[in-house]
Chains A and B, each alone.
Chain A
Amino acid sequence: MKLTGSEIFVESLKCEGVKTIFGIPGGVVLKLFDVLHQQNDVEVVLTRHEQGAIHMAEGHAKATGKAGVALVTSGPGMTNIVTGLADAMMDSVPLVAFTGQVPTSLIGNDAFQEADNIGISRPCTKHNVLVKDVKDLATVIKEAFYIANTGRPGPVLVDIPKDVTTESAEFHYPDKVSLRGYRPTVSGNRFQIKQAAGEILKAKRPVIYVGGGAVFSGAANEVRELADLTQIPVTMTVMGLGSFPGTHPLCMGMLGMHGTYCANMAMHEADLLIAVGARFDDRVTGKLSEFSPRARVIHIDIDPTSIKKNVHAHIPIVGDVKVVLKELVQVLSSMDGNPTSVKAQRRPWLKQVNAWSAEHPLAYQQEGKKQTKPQYVIDKAYELTKHKAIVVTDVGQHQMWAAQYFKSGLQRTFLTSGGLGTMGFGFPAAIGAQKAYPNKTVLCITSEGSFQMNLQELAVAAIYKLPVKIILLNNQFHGMVRQWQDLFYEGRYASSDLGNTPDFVKLAEAYGILGLRSEEPADVEAVLKEGLKHKGPVMMDFAIDRFENCYPMIPAGGAQHEMVLEDPPQLKTARKPSRKKGEDADAVLPA
């Protein structure tokens, strides 16, 4: 039977099991939306900005592990999703973005709302395709989902010209794909795995360093088995959070620029790093020449380009993290019959690790009457939702505090923009995650800076009744920028002071959303409790200490063991935000 391109599009989505897509219509995709409108299997979430759509698709994908889908129009519709594509590319988020294109006869003519979608998205997608013939559409969609979901996941863009949406072709959805240039390696090399096992048994000061790859691969159980069996302490990147329980005695917490003292010291002193689905990002390594100077490196990753890119790997193992770890655990179990001897052998190292942990634990001081500490809000939120919430963060200080204090116990419950560091990601991503799991508690931990970058999606939360709990840590600063200015720019707050922010409670109310405000520490728990109890979406605006800084901190370009652990003395004296002349805060927005 012949179907139009638009019908083929919708039927293909159904074949892929897609239940929700996020998008905004426009001239060249009207036919696609028209067909979507006349069926009930695939729901369209109409967002208020295309950037919202792509981050929602990301949030949906990060929460479920399956490709998120966005549909936007040509020209500005497409250019508005570029940030989300780049974000998904960095964080290996499976995504299929459909963009409209002007009719094939007009391509290249500078037609209305024309952009070179393929050219623009090429460097920020795993793959992209312009469909020139409706006969190819089903196959292209099948391949797009396959490429997005397999190997190292990533975004795929499918560009569909208007005439392709209206022309007809026989519909047959292929069962299999045959891509001769794309065959990801899944199982690791056996010989290498044996070598790795040998190194692990020999090591005196080993560390398991887990990244986002473990989450995508669903390898939490395997990471845990490896750690338990070998008694090796575990640290995670911000992307890896959730792949090992934060409350486990072997857990050292996050590593890197704002990682724990213990994790960074252990990395620095280690004689063996077992890197699991991590890519030695500069925020993790700090100064490369002084990174883990005594460590041999076992690097397990599905993407060969991640291996030996920044740090030399003595034992590279290309493969799916879950599959490789399973085999590694098997090999180790058969090699080592006596678990008590492992425990004894590991004792001095674990003692040292625990000593570091005790020496400089994550800490903050919340004094009763003073300003609310942001860490206190996050700590309370964690306490009230322990292991039951999906936490979605924006980018900045609040993100790092959330990463430090939320001891996520389950994979896919800490969703954040790690690689690209996209402010504005959090709220739409939280909506996407909530859409995937309508009955779970989804917390959006954000700040007034990040939130204002995509606040228009409040409409989506309200209209689709998605009960996202927004925890907004409001310091009226681009806080992380302000922190760097305090530490490295002699406290000159160039364009980091946001002045008076809008009244977020009223803003929420304008969208028909409950707004709550916490002015002082005594309000925090009550606001959180009320917000969490409320059935619909909630905006909780927490006035926090404007000058709280996030520690530990490895200054950019510093070595990992050279952490700044607290405000330097000169910062502890009173600080006032400096404003340029003529810039009257009160004139920006009425308080």
Chain B
Amino acid sequence: MPIELIKEKCSSPINSVEIGVSGKKVVTIGGESAMPFLFDEGNMPNAPRVALEILDSEPAEWPEELIRPFGDSLKDPVGWAVKCVKDFGAGILCVRLQSTHPDYGSKDADHVIPILKSIIKETAVPLIVIGGGDDERDNIVLPKVSQALKGENCLLGIATQNNYKTLAATALADGHSIIAESPIDINIAKQVNILISDMGFNPHKILMHPTTTSLGYGMEYVYSIMERGRLAAFIGDKMLAMPFILFVGSEAWKTKEAKEAASAQGVNWEITTAVSMLQAGADLLVMRHPEAAENVRKYIEIVMNGGGKK
């Protein structure tokens, strides 16, 4: 029976953002011109990527199941980073500067910079570096970190509507990309992108963080915000054409369903959150459990194989 399918073509693709430096390893994020995995309607020149997250100091509140795969390496961020790359196949690392947060010791930049430099030296993979999450401390620490990593083309974060100037100025000066965050709100997402771009920041060096919420804790809000953002970008809204980054690992492992249940459930919680975000248009996932990350990488391979029999 002849059928008339509707193939929606986009007029304006998502930006491609490079992280890392050529000569070493570079990854390109984004660039798609269709809703996720609809290859008849457009391209996804760059498969979504999975980064593994590490902390700059030993995690204080991680559940047993999340500690198990890493063992003692958790005590040494550089060893942990190397393990992620060598044993767990991470092509990108995300370092969360937890130790700089007042709750975890208020460490200064000169404490974390040598750690970051060693990680770059030992792993040579592109790096995402995010602050401890305390605005005041981040604004003191991150500029120094940015400067120390000048030329590495890292992805730095996190800039928000109320706290973006310091980070954007320093990332701009040192040639890094930036994460622009908004609280599950498409208008604020656009606003932060505009504010940062207005400072002279290249829009092709911005990733959007629409806020991550775990499976069972409002995942669907983020899912729909991402779909709305994407649809707007595809019809030409340049200030929403940034790739999406999602911190699925930290959010999934915050939930009691992941922390307190039998081992498989935590990993599955992270996988399910990740898959949902990929189906909503995620370009870069920051994950925690190596087994979850590996399965999500395999999943991406399967769906990117668009239409091939498997």
A and B co-occur in one complex:
no
